[in-house]
Each structure stands twice: as structure tokens, then as C-alpha cells.
Structure 1
């Protein structure tokens, strides 16, 4: 009799354990609720009530005056003496000042001396600005070549650079995506924006701008360009 009682208790406990496990498993694996957020939140300066939307698209070219380049070079020559890092330490306690000195030297003595070449390369791509949710968004927009348009399936492609990063990451292969090739039967219409707060795109003026809000701005940009469906590459 005692054996039957013990066996019954074991079965009951096992059943309770399985039942509890099933409830937990079901709760953990059920579909998450669809996130709710507005697709027109105003992130620009001032009061949203005073905001007048501007849906026009404006051409953009990078034009940095030589006076600003000269001033930056002078500022880089006036850098303070940096504190030496701890012995045997790389970046564990922050940015390594030995590496920072090398970056400053390269920036001043190499990068800036070739600025005109770099600016010309940048301006070799078709670039624009348009206002999305109160923010001026900069983007490269390269359409497929005429030859590719006649022979290929054309798909819109949104290229998103890293955090941090810039559209410079895409310069080398944008032409590969838009030009005719015998390897594939498709080509891409490329849109490569500067993310909000990066490059020549405005930064949000109030807290709360997260990854979901960034995605909303990017989607609204593609809608502005006439694309409801598109491929995405994330940096």
C-alpha cells in the first residue's frame, strides 16, 4: 500500500513538473507582440507643431573651404601633450594615447594633404538630401547603367553603414552593384544614406532615438524614393 502511495506521489509530482514546464515553454516560445511606434515622430529642432514638412529632394555636393582645412591642420598642430598609457596596456582603460598620436599625425600629415582628391572621389557619386521626420538626411543614390537596365532585373538596395562608420565604406563596390555584368542576371539601384547623426545627416534633437526609430527613418526615406519593397545590407 505504501509503495502505491509513494508511486502515486511520484507520478503526481512528475505530472506537475511536466505541466509547469509546458506552461513555461509555451510562454517563452509564443510570438512576441508586434511593436507599436509611430512612423512620423518628429526628431528635428524646435516644436513639432511649428514644423512644415518639405518633401523635396535636393542635390548635394561636398565643398569644404580650404580655410577650414588649414584651420583644422593648425588645431592638430596644437594638440596637448598626451598622458602615456600604463605599461603593457593597450585599450583596456580607454583609447591608447600612443595610437591616438599616430592617428593625429596621419590625419594632419597625410589625410588632409590629399583632401582635394578625397573630396573629388566623394563627389563622383550622385548625392542628395531630403527631409525625413524633421531631419535632413544625406544619401548616395546610384541607379543602374543603361546597359544593365536593358539586360538585367533591377532591385532597390539599401546599404547601411556601421555604428560608427560612413558611406565611404561602400565606395569601392557601389559600381559593381550598378553596372552590367555577365555573372548575374540582376543589378541594383543603390541607396546609401548617412545614418541619423552621422556624416551629413542631422542628429536627433531629443532623447529616445533608438534602432527602431532609425529603421523608421530609413524606411521613410525609401518610401520617399518610391520603394515599398527593397533589399537591405546592414553594416
Structure 2
């Protein structure tokens, strides 16, 4: 992970007006298909059986074109503090907010797909400067995965979860953080687990919303609820994961549509937010249009539809593809949200995460808890990491 320079340089975001005007023009000129052939009155999750309903898409397209304010989100990124550094020849973008608390712990937050750093921009302040003085404070680092956002797009294969985890260790070292905690969900959960298992000397402990069990464990001894979790997870990968297979096998092909058409990109991402959130019908029951469009517009302006999809080509299968025997012995806090797409029973999880110090099953939330239930998410993250740091000897 050595590079010619270890410099971490300040970075500011400013999309050209021409790019924003082009986006609005493309939205205005969009060619849309006919309505879906299965109609149900809202609210009804079955409205989405064939994908994003036409009426819903038209509404969000019009909002994106006429009301959404990218400049506001852009200003927020610059306010937090943006930086870039080069690791193994690849430029890595990050948000970095240092806490003023003397007892603050370095913390790296890793997003997944179809998320981005936009998943965390609204929770960084509370993590760095918690209103409750008894809550732990953190120096917060939020990198953009390779191929996502303002990070560079890999020009060769090899940037899978293992290499990204090693890059994160180098990144934290460059920031002066030789020991740190880590959190992630989705691909961020895979990378966080690898950080915990491969780098126990640097990583104090982890918090994750994704636990992937070793392969071929028996359901003997599981409760009825835990069996339902395993059935739901199996059903997801059998019947709802065509997007993952497409991006794992043909990321370039889908990438043409995602980079050329903002409507195609919006629908591709909105479909997942609808299916993976804890809602009765629309993801906008819990996530505002602005929050979702912050994320989608970041993908659009950075032309990262194809490059972000390639993480599936590099790492499809998650931890078990990395190493079926993989173990994590450092303190771990795990929260399994009720509407997430993968739910692992604790008895299975502890076969891999062998020092679980806190296990939570929240009552609400899905795959994007920082966006769906942000106040609960922050509290859960603070309490989970407090348990992790106590177990590691960092806090008394």
C-alpha cells in the first residue's frame, strides 16, 4: 500500500453549471415507457412488483428537475471537510471531521452500493460532537469507495474488498490514526469485517449492520424467528438479486445506461431504496426526496454508474468469497435491522464474529438505517462502539 506520496490534500466540490443544466435538460427530454401492467392503489408495496411505478418516477423526475438543490448538498460536503490522497496509484476521496473532544476515538465509516458518502453527511456532527457528554466522540472519516463519487475509477481489476480494507488502514495511518474503530453496512459491512479480521493491531473494534455467517451452517437449534431470517435471506438471493448478478457479470453493459441516462440511474437506485427500506409502500415514507437525490446526483455528476457497479465483479459473494474460514476476534457490535436484505442469526454470526460484545435487533429500519432512522442509528452506533471500546480497553 505504499505510494510515491503520503500527502492528504484538501478538496472542494463545485459542479460546473453546464453539468447541472445538462442534467435538467436530459430530465426534461426523457423518454419513458408505458405504465406497468399491474396497477394497485397506493399505499401498497405490491405496486412495485414490476419495478418503479411510472407515476412515482414521473413525480421524482419533476422534483429533481425543478426543485432539488444540489448546491446545498455540495456546500454541506465542503463544510464537513473534504480531502483526497493517492493509495496504490488510485485517488481516494474522503470526508474528515476531527472532534474537539480530547477523548475522541478515530472512526472510519464505510458505505456500500447503491449508497455513498451521502448516507452519513447528516450524522457526522453528532458523532464528532455528541450533545450527550457521556456519549463517545469520534474523529470521523468517511471515504468514498474506489469507483464511487470523487474517488478515482480503477483502470484495472484488483480493487476488491480485501484491497480496499488494506487501503483504509493506510488512509487512517496517513491521517495520524494508528488505531481506530470501524463501522459499515452492505459492502461497507464486508470491508469492516475484513478490517477487523485482517488488521487486529490497528482496529480497536467494529460495529456493523451486516453479519455474514460461514457457509453451510445447520438450522438445527434456531428459533422459528431465526429460521425465518435465514429463509428471507435465501429468498432474497434467489429471487431479488438480479441487479447483483448483472453488476457482477456485466457491469460495463449496465454502466452505459447508468452513465448516459439520469432517469435510468434514478430508477435503478430508487428500485433498491423502495425494496430495501422499512416502509409500507414508498421509500419516501422515511427518506426525503432531497436525501435520496443527494445520493443519485452524486452518482450522476461523477459518472460512477459503471465504476461503482464493478465492486460486485471484484468481490461478489462477500466475506465467504474472500475466505470461508475467515474469523474476527476483536470486539464486535452487530445490529440487524428488521427489513434488511440479509439477516444472520446470532448463533451463526458468532461462528465468525467470535467476540460479540453487543447484539441488537432494532424494531424499525431496513438496509439504509442512517437515512431511515437516523436518530436511532446514531444512538445505536454510539452505544455499540462504547461497548466495543470498553472491551478493547480504550474506555473505562
The answer (yes or no) to whether the contact 1:142–1:178 under 8 Å persists in 2 is yes
SS in 2 for 1:197: coil
1:218 equivalent in structure 2: 168
Structure 2 unmatched ranges of 5 or more: 40-45, 186-396
* 2:124 counterpart (158, 166, 174): 174
2:20 equivalent in structure 1: 69
Moved over 6 A (4+): none
2:63 equivalent in structure 1: 106
2:70 equivalent in structure 1: 115
Specify the structure having the higher radius of gyration (Cα).
1
The answer (yes or no) to whether the contact 2:8–2:174 under 8 Å persists in 1 is no
For normalisation by structure 1, the TM-score amounts to 0.67
2:393 equivalent in structure 1: none
Q: Deviation at 1:92?
A: 4.5
Structure 1 unmatched ranges of 5 or more: 1-38, 41-51
The answer (yes or no) to whether the contact 1:196–1:202 under 8 Å persists in 2 is yes
Please list, as runs of the form range in 1=range in 2, the aligned pairs for 1:1-235 lying within 5 A after superposition.
Answer: 39=1, 53-88=4-39, 90-111=47-68, 114-145=69-100, 148-149=101-102, 153-179=103-129, 181-184=131-134, 186-235=136-185
Q: Deviations over 1:35-94 (max 9, x none)?
A: xxxx56xxxxxxxxxxx7332211111111222211211111111132332324745455
Residues 93, 210 of structure 1: alpha-carbon distance in 2 compared, 3 angstrom cutoff: farther
Greater helix proportion: 2
**Alpha-carbon distance in 2 for matches of 1:207, 1:86:** 41
Q: Deviations over 1:17-45 (max 9, x none)?
A: xxxxxxxxxxxxxxxxxxxxxx56xxxxx
For normalisation by structure 2, the TM-score amounts to 0.42
CA RMSD of aligned residues (A): 2.3
Paired residues, number: 179
Residues 181, 90 of structure 1: alpha-carbon distance in 2 compared, 3 angstrom cutoff: closer
**Alpha-carbon distance in 1 for matches of 2:148, 2:27:** 22
